[in-house]
Amino acid sequence: SSFDGPLQRLTIHALPGTEFKIGVTKIIGEGNIESIVMRDPTLEEAYLSIIK
C-alpha cells in the first residue's frame, strides 16, 4: 500500500481475551489499518510480567 506520510506502527499490550479491535478501528479508522497481528507473549515477556 502507499502512504501519504511516514509509516507508523502502534503496539497495544492487552490481557488475553481482551477485545480491542472494534474500539481501535473506530478511533483510527479502518482505512488506516493495514494489519492487526495478535500473538502470545514471548518467554522473556512472560517472565518479566511475573517479576513486576
Q: Give the C-alpha separation, 49 to 52, whole Å.
A: 5
Specify the DSSP class assigned to residue 3: -
Q: Output b/e per residue, 16-43; b: 16+ Cβ within 10 A.
A: eeeeeeeeeeeeeeeeeeeeeeeeeeee
Question: What confidence tier does 43 reach under pLDDT thresholds 50, 70, 90?
Answer: very high
pTM summary value: 0.52
pLDDT in tens, 7-33: 788 888 888 788 888 998 999 899 888
Cα separation, 28 vs 31, whole angstroms: 8
Q: Would you give the end-to-end CA distance of the chain in angstroms?
A: 39
